[in-house]
Structure 1
Amino acid sequence: MTPASDEGGSDGHRRSGSHARERDNTPRSFWKELPLLVVIALVLALLIKTFLVQAFSIPSASMENTLQIGDRVLVDKLTPWFGAEPQRGEVVVFHDPDNWLRGEPTPKPNAVQTVLSWIGLMPSADEKDLIKRVIGVGGDTIECNGTGPLKVNGKPLDDSYIYAGNTPCSSDNQGGQFKVTVPKGKIWVMGDHRQNSLDSRYHQNDKNHGFVPVGNVVGRAVVIAWPPERWSTLPVPDTFDQPGIGTAASALPGALGLAGAVPLVLWRRRRTTSRGTGAPAAADGGAATTDDTRVSGGSTAR
């Protein structure tokens, strides 16, 4: 016969365990969860800024009217990871190649601004980036005579996208008149506001002779995201696709095509092997389961 005290003790243990389980299943307070949610959000923001897309604000006029002061653009940082390089006609953000932004004032952020800029939620005071249009890539010959037209590989460009009233070339002798051949691994960039852009033309005496190393390119600006009434994509002007200007193939389609082809080839080989040995198809694996335009952006481009 079991003593009453043992039964009571056993019941007490059961009740205690039940209460413990109930406490374990009680939802945690929102305020206790909030710090974790904030940390996760900040980590995701940092990863997106670093590897996928970053916002840049436009503080100057060198890309008008394509980009206006106060516009915020989204820059694709993903495709360069697949080997894609800048193409003619694209608007790109790039790190200052050789003191192009010399003399530009640098704001002094407070501690909160420093943290927010680090995760890409505010402009960074330390990032010295610019935004321009790619006119030529490695191997291209680019020239300006008089007021234009601007020529790439002997083909005149229809510069209808440049600032109204500007001429495609500047008639000054400080850089506006030139003929250059772009080295491999470099690009030649110009602002759409041709008479208000200190671009490749005016840096031909720097260590890169005005060319921008491809490795300095942060990514391609693809969308004007702010203000809402300015929302639009940033396509390549048709003039860069004219016959004879040359075609610079992007590495991205090839990379994605290769990635997609590998599993398809393996699947076909396994099916062929299964048929050759008389095995049923299911044996494959069972069930299917300006002035230079600096940018700030989370940075600023000029």
Structure 2
Amino acid sequence: MESIRFRNDDMAWEIAALILTPPGFDPGKRYPTIVSVHPFGSCKEQTSSAVYGRRLADQGFVVIAYDASYQGESGGEPRWVEDPTQRVEDVSHVIDYAVTLPYVDADRIGAIGICGGGGYILNATLTEKRIKAVVGITPVDIGRLFREGFSDYDPIGALEAMAEQRTKEARGGELQVNELLPASPEAATEAGMTERDVSEATDYYKTPRGQEPGGATRMLFSHAQNTLGWTAFGFIEMLMTQPMMVVVGQKVGAFGAYRDGMEAYGRATASRDRQLVSLEGWSHYDLYDKDEPVGLAMDRMVPFLQKHVAG
């Protein structure tokens, strides 16, 4: 695994990434390559590289897992901005870099994303036709989530509060950085935050199970307006022509990955090979790193990506 930073001609800051290579890697050869997109509030060292990236590299793919702009070790100011438009644009910047590497086969590029990254990568694939096949793993439409649960079902009230806060910050006031999760599983229990996705997210992000310095689970509140006006699946019926796989767990949580994954799969009728992997007995965060559900997902993902990307 190699840690790199790059900047394309039209970028204002660097993107930090990890490049994972197959066993027996030969830089003189050309490999099918997977772009791996991390979840909302996450970073490249977590599930996008350590779980799915490593397993795909072991199956013969080069994998590029990177930090989103404004997050992790990537550049961009102010920090902890969650901007769906930028998140989707990051995908194309990563591919721009990938195609300059002599060992990347530019005609064999696929992509995966987990959670919010799953929504972003499905959206990016609509217009980024260098992606030959895509997998959304427990994908979440961040725009839908912000308009609903993350704004207490009051998106207009949230937008008005963001506008007021942004004006304060423009006049020199302190930035409002929201922590998205309780500090620990114990704190979640004490606060009565026992809903499945909240509890399991806290167990992943706030314990040694998945905790990483770059996975800050923070968001700059004043710069989230675009998120409420964004949708992951607009025009998916028309523009999702590439092979697409959606992986979901059937144990439903408040963040809505099962609902969003089923919507994406159901609407993507123009896809040349549309596949659904619906795993009974497993949840959104089980699919981040639990061996059995990840193994079940990989059993379907690997042949799919070998056929459409490596083949």
TM tier, smaller: under 0.3
More helix by percentage: 2
| Structure number with higher relative contact order (C-alpha < 8 Å, ≥ 6 residues apart) | 1
Q: Which has the larger radius of gyration?
A: 1
Q: TM-score, normalised by structure 1?
A: 0.28
Q: TM-score, normalised by structure 2?
A: 0.27
